[in-house]
Structure 1
Amino acid sequence: MDLSSLLQELDLSVSDKPRPSPSPPPITDLLCRLREKLIGPSESEAERSDLIRRVERLFQTADPDWLFPSTNKSDDDDDGDVIKGEELKAAYTSLVCALIGCSALPLCEDDCSPVSASAYQNLPTRATAVGSALTALLRTLGHVGNEGTSLLLAVAPSICVFAVTHFQERPWSSPCSRASSQCLHVELLRAGGWTDDAHFLFGAGPEDRCMMGDILDLLQPQLDKDKLFRCEEVKLVFAWTLLQARGPSLSPLLSRVLPPSLLLNDHYRPENCILGIRCLHRIVLNVPAADLRQFNRAEVIYQALFKHLYTSEAAVIELSLSCLLDVLWVLEKPLPSSPSTRKCRHDDVMRLFLTHMEPENKMALRRVYASALPQYVDRMGVSVCRHLKRLERVVLSYLEISDPPEQTSRLKVLEALQKTIKTAWPRIPCRSNVLLCSLLKLLVDVTSDSLLIGSVRDQLTNHAAECIKLLDACCHGKIQPLLQQVDSSCCSAEVLRILATVTATTER
């Protein structure tokens, strides 16, 4: 289909200005008329979809020199058809926004009531059509060369927001709309010569034009506490862009990305809270410590995360404990290499952590706590001596209860026990009898459990044997005589073989 036929179909072949020849109207006039049609009332869904498909064909078939006329002519040129660069960018930006508006998500009534699934019924079809039209625009724009760079930079933020909204697996997307949006996203990076999402958003050097600030400008009106949770796509796009950060690229944007991250972190819905914690963690990892300490920001982040240790959501606690480790690294000086009476935030986290860990009976939470324990013991160093009573009770409790099929809780607690013995060895001999009894009982339970996977059984026995070796070293060989008194009357031959191996290794 040629351009004249397409314009005739669109009823846009005649400009408001009188023209001496039947040439097509200025592209800015056409774009404005198209925008009016897209945002105006439509008789049916089919009519709107048909209009979007015609816009796609326009970008596919029209002459690029007419679609993207040169804007390098002098402003003194008397030709009334000369189009200035800002005018052209404004026209294309308006059209792109109108196209994207055709697939806009409905707003939630409030932050408590999600949109019903029926409200998303037609969105995948619209998003697929809009994605195809925008892909056609980018492909044509990509052949223009350097003259199209400024125009591409003008429309790129809006296109990125649209693509990210629809290429994720959400209630408003379908396999077809996700594929179309993913194709659009790839085409956007290719058209601008960006190597990946991080390069697109944050640039690779100080001279690169970064899109993150422009995207935040688009999202900013919806990033306050009253609107953030009513716009489902806004929080997802914000989190996605922030999670692409790498290096110190977030520092100049810290004052803009921290407040929405804290809002997400503080929300009562776990899915929003998890998004917020991930955003805060990305900020902590990609902003210099000095900037985080300025204006007490790191302390605010610490307090926002610390309160999550009181929740019962395993995923929230897991992410919070991981993020707290990095926040504490920013807030606290290196812990002393010798015991000190000075307590710090590490102690506050460790104390609450162990207090909640000891009586916990939900297996999912036990695994989360146990998985984080070795890292905290390692970070505390010799200061873990201040928590040995609680830690001992936790170790005894967690080694006693099986955690099939992977035995994560037991394995991680054994790892934490090894680190504790190596670090706090002068304080271990007085606890050696209790710990040894628990480890021997664990060996008996593990070797007699026929349901255990072979590789898991080997890991448990190896870790337990290593703990016994370390206990013997702390007690200057006093454990060996006790182990030699164990015989077949109280345990299996397999346990005796493991203990013989421990004894022989210790003697060497």
Structure 2
Amino acid sequence: MRGRDIVSSTWYKIPHIESENSKSIFLKAKTTLQSAVNNLKVSIPSHTQEDLLDIIVVLAVNQQLQPWNNADLICCCQELLPQLLAQHDLEANMPHKLFEKYPKLCLEMNVLISSTLRRDQWQDHAIMCSFYTWYCKELSFPLVSEYLDILLPPSLHLVDSYIDEMKVIGVECLSHIMKESGKAELKWHGRSGVILDALLKLTYSKHEPLLVILHPTLIQILEVLDTDSNSVRVSKFCVLLALI
């Protein structure tokens, strides 16, 4: 069984997960993956490097409960992901090493993210939002710094969502991006100012899970801005006042 047999190479480009077509595709993915568990004793099908993108995406978006999966599929994908890494001589808890080992894979993922999670259409790609969240949080320095132009826009779109849960995910991604990238890169092209403006808008929220993660993330961006002695754009006092 080849990687392509897991699911059609275009499955993740379907815009609406609510559609019957999308449901049937995920049912096919579920059936195929569970068959791999039962018949191959949780063994990843043989695959080429070209198949990696399809396999990783279907495994990544089924690591947690989502509208398109269930507990059985999640359990299956959680077992298969470490085996995929093992086949590439990587430790089970280090998916980011796969990206370092295959730079071309990262480029393919970046193209996929940038082409689907644009400002005018990201809301129609819940599946890709889930993949982006997983991918972003698995990347580390220096790849995060290298891919800032790809990683930042989707996180800002999520922060700007009208859904509180999406805002939380966006702030989590921004926090990870700031943690794993250089302060100099964050200040280029006014990125730090854009991040701060997006975060300050959330201080009016009454959603407790959002506020819990928002406050330390605001401190993170202040630390980035504080390294620029010539910057007078932001008053730390004003930001701290917003936190009260």
TM-score, length-scaled by structure 1? 0.42
- Helix, strand or coil for the counterpart of 1:267? coil
- Structure 2 equivalent of residue 349 of structure 1: 239
Write out aligned runs for 1:95-110 (5 A): 98=8, 101=11, 107=16
Letter in 1 for 2:102: R
CA–CA separation in structure 1 for the residues paired with 2:153 and 2:216: 21
CA–CA separation in structure 2 for the residues paired with 1:212 and 1:134: 26
Contact 2:16 2:22 in 1 (8 A): no
Q: Size of the alignment, in residue pairs? A: 236
- Structure 2 equivalent of residue 252 of structure 1: 146
Contact 1:222 1:231 in 2 (8 A): yes
Are residue 183 (structure 1) and residue 93 (structure 2) matched?
A: no
Query: Deviations 1:27-78 (Å, cap 9, x if unpaired)?
Result: xxxxxxxxxxxxxxxxxxxxxxxxxxxxxxxx3xxxxxxxxxxxxxxxxxxx
Contact 2:4 2:54 in 1 (8 A): no
CA–CA separation in structure 1 for the residues paired with 2:135 and 2:83: 18
- Structure 2 equivalent of residue 154 of structure 1: 50
Contact 1:167 1:178 in 2 (8 A): yes
- Helix, strand or coil for the counterpart of 1:212? helix
CA–CA separation in structure 2 for the residues paired with 1:99 and 1:284: 32
Write out aligned runs for 1:53-202 (5 A): 59=1, 98=8, 101=11, 107=16, 115=18, 125-132=27-34, 139=44, 141=46, 152-195=48-91, 196-201=94-99
CA–CA separation in structure 1 for the residues paired with 2:153 and 2:78: 29
- Structure 2 equivalent of residue 209 of structure 1: 102
Letter in 2 for 1:302: L
RMSD between superposed Cα atoms in Å: 3.2
Letter in 1 for 2:236: H
Residues 343, 125 of structure 1: CA spacing in aligned structure 2 closer, same or farther, 3 A cutoff? closer
- Helix, strand or coil for the counterpart of 1:243? helix
Which runs of 5 or more structure 2 residues have no equivalent in the other structure? Answer: none
Letter in 2 for 1:209: Y
Ranked by relative contact order (alpha carbons within 8 Å, sequence separation 6 or more), the top structure is 2
User: Runs ≥4 in structure 1, deviation > 4 angstroms?
Assistant: 92-97, 103-106, 118-125, 132-140
Are residue 323 (structure 1) and residue 228 (structure 2) matched?
A: no
Contact 1:305 1:324 in 2 (8 A): yes
Distance apart, 1:347 and its partner CA = 0.5
Query: Deviations 1:218-266 (Å, cap 9, x if unpaired)?
Result: 3332111232111211101101111122333311111111111111111
Query: Deviations 1:74-133 (Å, cap 9, x if unpaired)?
Result: xxxxxxxxxxxxxxxxxx6765552773x986606xxxxxx48x8887666433223246
CA–CA separation in structure 2 for the residues paired with 1:174 and 1:310: 35
Which runs of 5 or more structure 1 residues have no equivalent in the other structure? Answer: 1-58, 60-91, 109-114, 142-150, 336-341, 355-508
Query: Deviations 1:302-337 (Å, cap 9, x if unpaired)?
Result: 1111111122222222222110101100101499xx
CA–CA separation in structure 1 for the residues paired with 2:191 and 2:14: 34
Letter in 1 for 2:49: L
CA–CA separation in structure 1 for the residues paired with 2:206 and 2:116: 30
Contact 2:168 2:210 in 1 (8 A): yes
CA–CA separation in structure 2 for the residues paired with 1:331 and 1:262: 18
Contact 1:139 1:187 in 2 (8 A): yes
Residues 333, 186 of structure 1: CA spacing in aligned structure 2 closer, same or farther, 3 A cutoff? closer
Letter in 2 for 1:130: T
Q: Which has the larger radius of gyration?
A: 1
CA–CA separation in structure 1 for the residues paired with 2:233 and 2:79: 54
Distance apart, 1:343 and its partner CA = 9.8
CA–CA separation in structure 2 for the residues paired with 1:298 and 1:334: 11
Farther off after superposition, 120-129 or 309-318: 120-129
Contact 2:196 2:221 in 1 (8 A): yes
Residues 253, 130 of structure 1: CA spacing in aligned structure 2 closer, same or farther, 3 A cutoff? same
Letter in 2 for 1:128: K
Contact 2:57 2:131 in 1 (8 A): yes
- Taking every aligned residue pair, what percent have the same amino acid on both sides? 19
CA–CA separation in structure 2 for the residues paired with 1:216 and 1:223: 10
CA–CA separation in structure 1 for the residues paired with 2:158 and 2:134: 13
CA–CA separation in structure 2 for the residues paired with 1:241 and 1:134: 24
Contact 2:36 2:45 in 1 (8 A): no
